[in-house]
Structure 1
Amino acid sequence: MAIIAVSNYFIGVKQIEAEVKRNHRLQLQEIYQSMEKQLFQVEIIGNQWVFNPVFNKELLNGDLRLKPDTTRELLVSLRILKESNPLIGNAVLYLDKNHLIVSDEEGIYTITDEEIKQTFHQLLNEKSSLMWWNHPISPLKYKSKVNVAFAHKIQGAGGDPLGTIILYLDKNQIDEFLYPLNPDGEGVAYILNKDGDWVTNGRNQNEKVLELDEAVRREVIDHDLEAGDFIFKRQGISYSVTVGTFSRNEWKYVVATPLSKLTSPVILVSQLGFAISLIGLFVAIILSWLASRRIYRPVKHLVGLFKDNVGIPSNIDKNDEFQFIAGRWRKLIDESQQLETKLEQNRHSLKEGFLLQLIQGHLYFFSEKDLREKMTFHGWNADDKGFAILLVRMDSIADTKGKFNEGDEQLATFAAANITQELLQSSWKDAEVINFHDLSLAVFFTFPAELPKEQVKSDLFHFSNQLIQVLTRYLTTRITVGVGKLVYFTHDIHKSLEEARAALQFRDLDKNEQILDMDNLLPQEKTQVSYPFNSENAIIQSMKMGLKDEAIRELGSFVVELKESQSMEIQFQQGMLQLLGSITHALLKSGVYSTVLQRGGNLYEQLSAIKEPDEIILWMRHMIIEPYVEDLSNTREKILEQIVSNVTLAIHENYHTPISLELFADEHGVTSYNLSKAFKQYTGTNFIDYLTNTRLEKAKELLRTTEMKINHVAEKVGYQPTYFIRIFKKLEGLTPGRYREMYEERR
């Protein structure tokens, strides 16, 4: 430690001095480039504005105070010139004639002092038309004064200058450039002109710092440095001084930073190193003495614990104590291994049960932190992880060339889960398989949260392709994989499973191997909906007519048409649910709803659970068509009688509206021929005669009991007036008017 302390002192101090000089050079280079750029911009601005038409020889004609428009234009131009660069503190126009000073801050001012007049007049005698003025004066009440300005002569018509544009620099802006070089104010940072006088010595200066500024300035002048570094010591403090020169106006910038403050930590660390080395030596001596006395205490304590547990006599030989401890330790290890084996046998079941509840969203009452701790407990590294689920479903196991039969769903799912687990061990370590025992299984994945979504999805698709190929090869069944959304909170894991299930509904019924991802399925382009309405009507009509074979044949045609137009599983199922709804609706409208159907439970739920078209056809046949046709054969006459009764009641209620036999036939789900035949059978007359007689009876009643005009009576019973008069006369032998007159005469 003593060697390290000495090395820290000598190496650290030298390194700090070198680093400070390097940082000075880098900072000064940045300040230099920024200042050079700003000074160049000031020169460009002055050069551009001197040619502005507002600064012309007309300024010499007459008194500016008597020309308000010209004066206003001058003041506006000077204000714009002042605000064109943050380094410009004030823009002033000097006109040699009448010795006028024009400024947007104080307007027009006449110089009366002869010395100041001479100073401004000398600017016009300079050889260069633009110059840096290192000793400017200003008669104005200028707030932030700095003894540097940029002057540009304005040429008159004859070549003689008529005045000067003077751009006074803003001291505060220059100080802003210097502030990063001395932010704490313990050093110095200032700019000198080529004569060694101040341009600015920074901001917030106190008396002590001003003394340091002057001392460093004198040192720089004595060294006659244009650029370079040196160490300056004053009052026991070492300063690293760096000097540089602006090429544009020969200014010197000077920065001095105290090194003592930077090197004091190194000195303190070195001193602490010496002190700690001495203390450490003393402590080591004490500990070595104490250790020799206390080293046996834990051994004695362990022997006592073991003897208490097994009842070993207390007079055991001290030479055998370590052997005794080793024997007891081996026994404890054996017992621990046996216990661990028993726990391992149950761990898998506990882990599988926890995972099943987690992915189904049953653990919502736990916090995010608790769930991640439970996942860690069960062997998952859940910190900074994302989660995803693949849902694998097998279909048509009866078509697996004899490997599986109907009822072997659990066996097929078990085989698929084992194959999936083996594939995961070789391709994806952070994953688990969940067996649902219903021809479906889920694969739960964890992945680093920082991985891009596209990469994770690509890996999931790659694994899904591998899994489909392996399962298809060994099980020869149709495999569909739904890819769940990527989630990053344990409470959202069940959403990944829900999305995977939703994706499976978009399975193409004509394909055997599919990978479905909702991100690629939705939103879909709007397509024209195609639904086999004709086949639906044919099925319903055949059922109502009791034609079982015809209804089954039409059902097969319906399924084929629907499958061709709606190849996705969800669309196909929706179409079949629509068919089921149409059939039950038609049966309800006809007044007949088979008790067999009522005993079948929730038909929509049963149909939704079936995925294969062939299985759906068998279900519809056994659960819908055959029970209804069988029941219909026993109640056909009663049905027709009820339909006719409903039609006659509807005629009496709606005789004044446009109604027809075909309308009632469609409403009750029968053909117009069958309805006409049944109507004639149960009423003794055909439909149109019954409707006409009903309307005429209502018309007679209106003619007898009201003063309503004939045209209004015709409309009230659903006829056009001309047709009403014609049909009334045809059936009654006289016109409606004559009928009313005869009734009045009889009264």
Structure 2
Amino acid sequence: MRKLNLNYYYKNLIIVFIVTCLPMAIIAACNYFIAVKQIETEVKRNHQLQLQQIYNSMEKQLSHLELIGNQWGFNPIFNSDLLNGDLRQKPDTTRELLVSLRILKETNPLIDNAVLYLQKDQLLISDDEGINSITEEPTKQTFQQLLTMKSSLFWWDHPISALKYKNKVNVALVHKVQGLEGAPFGTIILYINKSQLDDWLFPLNPDGEGVAFILNKDGEWVTNGRRQSSEPIELDEAVRQEVLKQGRQEGDFIYNQNGVSYSVTIGLLSRNGWKYVVATPLSKLTAPVILVSKLGLAISLIGLLVAFVLSLLASRSIYRPVKHLVGMFMDSVGGGTAPVEKNDEFQFIEGKWRKMIHESRELHVNLEQSRQSLKEGLLLQLIQGHLYFFSEAELKEKMSLHGWNGDDKGFAIILVRMDGIADKKGKFHEGDEQLATFSAVNISQEILKSSCKDAEVINFYDLSFAVLLAYPSELPKEQVKSDLFRLSGELIDILTRFTQMRFTVGVGKLVYLAQDIHKSLEEAREALRFRDLDKNEQILDMDNILPLAANHVNYPFDIENAIIQSMKMGVQKEAVRQLEYFVEDLKQNQGKEMLFQQGMLQLLGSILHALLKSGVYSAALHRDGNLFEQLSAIKVPDEMLRWMRSRIIEPYVTELSNTREKIMKQIVNKVIDAIHEHYHTPISLESCADAHGITSYNLSKEFKQYTGTNFIDYLTNIRLEKAKELLRTTDMKMNDIAERVGYQPTYFIRIFKKVEGTTPGRYREMKVTHFPVDP
């Protein structure tokens, strides 16, 4: 016995224990991913709240500062009298001015220093350093620039102090001081207190692990929020560069540096365009959660390992019954020769079991199909008369083997034929013949089963099928006929409703011998030949069909000739139109299917005879077999019309067109050769057309189609090319050259000048300097 590998069992056992330890692993993973994400979200939310508070406070302070600047800008002390005389010679005014600047500085903690700039004497006045003159030219230009600003109150982000006092922040609020005529004569400069800005930022970075700073509109430092150093540290500068790189005005993002993740939040002050940035390290906040998550995962792995060892020890005793069962199964199906699929013992057992069930079902289905096929074959041969060599007793014995009791029975055939497979309103289309017949047969079998008839349906797979019925022999013939007609009407009604097709039923005669059943089928087929073409649903019985009157047959010979002539001329649309007239005329004059079919066969023979006489008879017409057999198999006039169009008219017209195109191309080539050979003679389009037996109009049209130019232009070009050659290479006279190329001298000069734009003599002068001298 082939040894089985237990991989499948152990793999599934491992899965069981993994599932056992999975909850703790899921909890650890959730702690890691969800908790860390939640902490990051909470940190961002706290940042947003703190920043919103700072924003509101800063906006309020800056608004208050601008209000102070506006109020003091209109203080009477700052009037145009300051321009009269030397301020340093006015101690009272100077003292009052310094006191006012001190009071102004103390009105708001954001003001670090209040300075008055006077343009007249280039003076800077402050409480800390008194009155100072500006001596350096660049500084003068900077202060002059303040007076040129459009707004009377604005923020200035560049160094502007010329005092010995060193401002810690290069940002100031500037207010122009207006004179009597409205022109500014100076500015009040309020320098911002850096320590106050640092107090705003300190709550956002109390432990110094992160960063909190303010940038001006140009991305330069306003303050880095660190009291101990005014120079930015490495992290400050890295975050500032990242903020500038992203180009954000507001928002959040994660920044990583040296393995530490920072949650960075950016805000914008609308008053002066300052951008404040706060970066808080997330890694230290999430470290405890990550540690707990890793411990949980480690414990889960250890538990899994212990469970695996224990399961390995217990699995062998648990698996012994399974192994024994597999061994017995392998021995029962061939011992060591039986393969084991993918080392999976359970799939092996299941597969073998399913295979046995499948084989059993398959044998049952095959047996049933064989029995049904034998039954269908027997009935098909029986109703077609192929079992004539069997005796009546033998036939009934064979019928009884297939569930038919033929003793003391009479037999009748109902032959059902379907039409209208190509109708657009129907459920089936061309190519669905077998499917349509199969559907009709199934429906008929259900009808017969529900009516408890002793009947069988035989499928011919060509839009027709037969119903073989058995009746007790003591039943009167009239009652049997009545039942056959009733059943035929029921079949037509139901089949028409379900398939949307037209049905015709032929009823065969009642016979009392199994050997004569084929005669009933022959009679039903003969009855179908008498179907009226104008009627859709018909039940035909030879006993009720009157013999055809010996009337004169009306055959549309004139339309037949029109069809043939249109085909010979290659006019496909006209040929199809005449064919439609022919079919309609034949339907009106020959109402029976048999006579209509004979008329269509006559038309086919006439067309093929005419094609043979025309010399364009193509073997392609017979590529699919005998045309007369194909046409005879079609019963519906519209389908005959489509068949004639697609199998006869269209191939012939296509072949005629191809042949005509080849002939015309050969004629044009011959005309071109004639032009090149006889260009010096009086050659014309009409003479060439007569020479080849076609009209000058057709030759002119085909000539231009193949050469791209008309006949006369082509001939003129050839003659003039020969004339130009003679002009260049000989000293012949003009008259001689004209006659040589087929022109009268006067016409030659005129046509030459018209085409070449110059006279022949002038052309010779331009192209030839001397003629070659004969040796």
Q: What TM-score do you get using the length of structure 2 for normalisation?
A: 0.37
Structure possessing the higher radius of gyration over alpha carbons: 2
Q: What TM-score do you get using the length of structure 1 for normalisation?
A: 0.39
Larger RCO (CA under 8 A, 6+ residues apart): 2
